[in-house]
Amino acid sequence: MGMKLLIVDDDFINRKLLQTILKKNTQVSEVFEVENGVQALNFIETNHDVDLILLDIMMPVLDGVGFLNIFRADMASSHIPVIVLSTDDSRKSEVFDSGANDFLRKPVKEEELFNKISQWSNA
């Protein structure tokens, strides 16, 4: 049975690019997508079988750091690994302090993403 991933990114093109890349990965069975941290929290609250979250930092409504702070503190499913995807390295320590498990720089390279998915699927 494959992994279920949640993409959290306000940029439609980024979400579709990730979807296209992830369809090539045999470890991934389903990919869901939402546009911001609030939608992500709501989705996870009703879908407890998400195996991995790919999270953007800069989003309206609730950004990635805000999502991490709430998710790690309040959610029963907060054990789910979160990989932050960002063009901004300057907030890297902030996202790790907020509970991110890993970090990838955008634009995401397919091989790097697949390596991270493999790493966290076995964690």
Q: DSSP readout, 39-56? A: HHHHHHHH-TT--EEEEE
pLDDT band of 88, cuts 50, 70, 90:
confident
Write the pLDDT tens digit of every residue in 34-62.
Answer: 999 999 999 999 998 999 999 999 999 99
Task: Tell me the pLDDT of the chain averaged across its residues.
Answer: 93
pLDDT at residue 74 above 80? Answer: no
Q: What percent of the chain has pLDDT over 70?
A: 96
Nearby residues of 113 by Cβ (< 8 Å), 6 or more positions away: 18, 21, 22, 104
Structure confidence by residue, pLDDT tens digits, 30-39:
999 999 999 9
Is the pLDDT assigned to residue 1 strictly greater than 80?
no
Average pLDDT (86-93) is 91
Radius of gyration of the chain (CA): 13
Q: Closest Cα partner for 100 from 61, 49, 66? A: 66
Q: Do 32 and 79 touch, CB atoms closer than 8 A?
A: no
Q: Which candidate, 13, 112, 90, places its Cα nearest to that of 102?
A: 112
| Domain locations in the chain as residue ranges | 3-121
Which DSSP helix (H) or strand (E) runs through 81? none
Q: Which numeric CATH code is attached to 3-121? A: 3.40.50.2300
